Amino acid sequence: MRLHSMHVHVVSPSMTSQTDVPTSRERWTPRLWGTLLVLCAAMFLDALDVSMVGVALPSIATDLGLSTATLQWIVSGYILGYGGLLLLGGRAADLLGRRRVFLIALAVFALASLLGGLVDSGPLLIASRFVKGLSAAFTAPAGLSIITTTFKEGPQRNRALAIYTTCAATGFSMGLVLSGLLTEVSWRLTMLLPAPIALMALLAGMRLIPHSRREDSGKGYDVPGAVTGTAAMLLLVFTVVQAPEAGWTSARTLLSFLAAAGLLTLFAGIERRSPHPLIRLGVLRSGSQIRANLGAAFFFGSYVGFQFLVTQYMQSLLGWSALQTALAFLPAGALVALSSTKIGGLVDRFGTPRVIATGFTLLVLGYALFLRIDLVPRYAAVVLPSMLLLGAACALVFPSLNIQATNGVEDHEQGMVSGLLNTSIQVGGAVFLAVVTAVITAGGGTGGTPQDVLDSFRPGLVVVTVIAAAGLLVTLTGLRRRRAERRTVVVARSGEDPDLRDATLPAATEPVGARD
243-253 tens-digit pLDDT: 877 888 899 99
Task: Of 209-218, 259-268, 281-290, give the lowest mean pLDDT range.
Answer: 209-218
How high does pLDDT run on average in the chain? 80
Task: Of 354-363, 365-374, 399-408, 463-472, give the lowest mean pLDDT range.
Answer: 399-408
| Confidence bin at 195 (pLDDT 50/70/90) | very high
31-212 CATH: 1.20.1250.20
Sorted by where each begins, the domain ranges of the chain are 31-212, 222-275, 285-487
pLDDT on residue 15? 36
Average pLDDT over residues 69-93: 80
pLDDT on residue 500? 35
Share of the chain above pLDDT 90, in %: 28
Which of 235, 207, 194 minimizes the C-alpha distance to 80?
235
75, pLDDT greater than 50: yes
**Tens of pLDDT along 13-57?**
333 333 333 444 567 888 889 999 999 999 888 888 877 887 787
| Confidence bin at 170 (pLDDT 50/70/90) | confident
Q: With beta carbons less than 8 A apart as the criterion, state whether 324 and 383 touch.
A: no
141, pLDDT greater than 80: yes
- For CA atoms 362, 364, 370, 372, the dihedral sign is negative
Give the CA-trace dihedral at 457, 462, 465, 471, to 10 degrees: -120
The answer to whether the 31-212 and 285-487 domains have the same CATH topology is yes
Q: Which residues are within 8 A (CB) of 353 and not within 5 positions of it... i.e. 6 or more apart?
A: 291, 404, 475, 478, 479, 482, 515, 516
| Confidence bin at 484 (pLDDT 50/70/90) | low
Q: With beta carbons less than 8 A apart as the criterion, state whether 405 and 424 touch.
A: no
**pTM of structure:** 0.75
pLDDT on residue 292? 92
Fold for 285-487, please state it.
Growth Hormone; Chain: A; (1.20.1250)
